[in-house]
Amino acid sequence: MRDVWKIYRVEDVEYPALRGVDMDVYGGEFLAVVGPSGSGKSTLLHIIGGLDTPTKGRVIVEGSDISGFSGEKLADYRNRMVGFIFQFYNLLPYLRAVENVELPMAIANISPNKRRERALELLGLVGLGDKAFKRPTELSGGEQQRVAIARSLINDPRLILADEPTGNIDSSSAGVIMEIFRRLVDEKGVSIVMVTHNLELIRFCDRLIKLRDGKIVEVEAPSK
């Protein structure tokens, strides 16, 4: 990101959410973004993920400036390059775990056999191979978040964006989620950018960025 600004306007009033942000995310890196409410953390994540566009500045991903992409190219970028994980799991309650994981491949018209094989493989990766045919209401909060992680991996993204991924689960489940993230970075070379309020979790990360009032005020390596 280079000199990225995001300004929201309500009638004649401007509200800057990001103010000239410069930052890099490296391949195979687990990056934590922290800061008080209203500091611009989620806006930062949405712009990296192509869910929002900057008012000014450039967002360069593998040599391409996605801030200039059309709607169709942005959709392709989100589908091909990025996996999203949110605080609320966004699982469809009437679908079983494996069907929730399959959903992005189903939308892309991948054959049923191929997507079922891939979904089961990913549920095994997050430790839910034995619960693939359970519905969300039959799973704990931590298990539902692991289904959401498996779903985010279905298209082999290079980058995972996680917005408060442990916000609705207990500390034990949060530790399991962090260990899964760490393994994805170390073994699969995935890059992860995670927004969190839980400072106990940053020990799993490689770098820490602190935001305040839409600006980066500190970058550091967290103590392990």
Indicate which CATH number applies to the domain containing 84: 3.40.50.300
Q: 204 is written with which tokens?
A: 């799993």
Burial of 2 (0-12, 13-18, 19+ CB in 10 A): middle
Q: What are the b/e assignments for 69-96, b being 16+ CB within 10 Å? A: beeeebeebbeebbbbbbbebebeeeeb
Q: 41: closest CA among 151, 167, 149, 176?
A: 167
**What confidence score (pLDDT) does residue 56 get?**
93
Structural contact between residues 164 and 195, judged by C-beta atoms closer than 8 angstroms:
yes
Q: pLDDT for 42-96, tens place per residue?
A: 999 999 999 888 999 999 998 889 888 888 888 888 888 899 988 787 899 999 9
Phi, psi of 60 (to 5 degrees): -105, 120
**Percent of the chain surpassing pLDDT 70:** 99
Domain membership flag for residue 179 = yes
- Quote the number of domains for the chain: 1
**Percent of the chain surpassing pLDDT 90:** 49
Res. 224: pLDDT tops 60: no
Burial of 110 (0-12, 13-18, 19+ CB in 10 A): middle
CA–CA gap between residue 93 and residue 97 (Å, rounded): 9
Domain membership flag for residue 132 = no
Label residue 182 by pLDDT band (50, 70, 90): very high
Domain membership flag for residue 97 = no
For residues 104-117, give the mean pLDDT: 84
Neighbours of 124 (CB within 10 A): 13
For residues 125-136, give the mean pLDDT: 92
Phi, psi of 130 (to 5 degrees): -85, 0
CA-based R_g, the chain, Å: 18
Domain membership flag for residue 135 = no
Give me the half-sphere count of Cα atoms (radius 13 Å) on the Cβ side of residue 45. 23
Average pLDDT, the chain: 89
Domain membership flag for residue 17 = yes
Domain membership flag for residue 119 = no
Q: At what angle do helices 141-152 and 112-125 cross, to 10 degrees?
A: 130
Residue 185: which domain range? 2-90+156-220
Res. 211: pLDDT tops 60: yes
**What confidence score (pLDDT) does residue 77 get?**
86
Between residues 168 and 165, which one has the greater pLDDT? Answer: 165
**What confidence score (pLDDT) does residue 223 get?**
59
Q: What is the dihedral of CA 38, 29, 217, 63, to 10 degrees?
A: -90
**What confidence score (pLDDT) does residue 195 get?**
93
Domain membership flag for residue 167 = yes
CA–CA gap between residue 39 and residue 214 (Å, rounded): 5
Neighbours of 53 (CB within 10 A): 15
Domain membership flag for residue 197 = yes
Neighbours of 221 (CB within 10 A): 10
